[in-house]
Amino acid sequence: QITLKESGPTLVKPTQTLTLTCTFSGFSLSTSGVGVGWIRQPPGKALEWLALIYWNDDKRYSPSLKSRLTITKDTSKNQVVLTMTNMDPVDTATYYCAHRLGYCTGGVCFPFDYWGQGTLVTVSS
Amino acid sequence: EIVLTQSPGTLSLSPGERATLSCRASQSVSSSYLAWYQQKPGQAPRLLIYGASSRATGIPDRFSGSGSGTDFTLTISRLEPEDFAVYYCQQYGSSPRETFGQGTKVEIK
């Protein structure tokens, strides 16, 4: 049974750096092909893809946010960490982490099939 | 970046009716790497359909997906009370430029 859970601060001040942790179970990030991604959703708005890390430490970032994002993994702890610098009120959102079964290769790609419950982060002074 | 436009924004239907949701891409989606998710208030998105037409594990067969290229459709054959929610499409074949549509809300008429 795959589960994921996000954790981190609920309130950050503008210009601060946000650090979120995704703790998961039911799979290993040392298994070939597996990935964990981050997606966010401002209140009442649509989903936005942020970043993704694969088992082999291949990292992908949204081009529009690349300069502000860093994604890392700790395989021994079953955790993935996302940092976002220079937070602004427009970054207020629920942040989700999600599991991806495999690499996009050989004409086969995979969606996010399991999601965490999300964590609401508010950016305000 | 591929822009996904969903229509209609809101669909007002009664239980038992058929729902047809559209997702149009600004350019062709490679190999139909198009997914549909359902989201209820206060919950995470739930994967319904991947590869444009394959149902995810445990998804009832009243949900079906179709389409290719730039035009995709999610059909709910007979709405159950638990189906009233917001539905998002996503193209996932162009990482890191994966994108989501803006969503279609299916509400009770």
Report the pLDDT averaged over residues A1-9.
97
Of B44, B50, B102, the CB nearest to A111: B50
Q: pLDDT tens digits, residue range A66-122?
A: 999 999 999 999 999 999 999 999 999 999 999 998 888 777 889 999 999 999 999
Closest CA to A104 of B6, B35, B108: B35
Cβ separation of B47 and A118 shorter than 8 Å? Answer: no
Cβ separation of A49 and B96 shorter than 8 Å? Answer: yes
Of A46, A110, A114, the CB nearest to B100: A46
Closest CA to A99 of A47, A55, A41, A46: A55
* Burial class of residue B82 in the structure, from the number of CB atoms within 10 Å of its CB (0-12 exposed, 13-18 middle, 19+ buried): exposed
Q: Which two tokens stand for residue A12?
A: 């950050």
In the predicted model, is pLDDT for residue B55 greater than 80? yes
Is the CB of residue A47 less than 8 Å away from at least one CB of chain B? yes
- What average pLDDT is seen over chain A? 96
Report the pLDDT averaged over residues A25-37.
95
Residues from chain B contacting residue A107 (CB–CB below 8 Å): 31
Cβ separation of A104 and B93 shorter than 8 Å? Answer: yes
Q: Which residue of B has its CA nearest to A117?
A: B44
In the predicted model, is pLDDT for residue B31 greater than 90? no
Question: Can you list the positions of beta strands (E) in B1-109?
Answer: 4-7, 10-13, 19-25, 34-39, 46-50, 54-55, 63-68, 71-76, 86-91, 99-100, 104-108
Is the CB of residue A43 less than 8 Å away from at least one CB of chain B? no
Q: In which band, very low, low, confident or very high, does the pLDDT at A8 lie, cut at 50, 70 and 90?
A: very high
Strands B10-13, B104-108: pairing is parallel
Cβ separation of B95 and A61 shorter than 8 Å? Answer: no
In the predicted model, is pLDDT for residue B96 greater than 90? no
Query: Distance between CA atoms of A81 and A20, rounded to whole angstroms?
Result: 6
Residues from chain A contacting residue B93 (CB–CB below 8 Å): 104, 109
Q: Which residues pair with B7 in a beta bridge?
A: B22
pLDDT given at position B32: 82
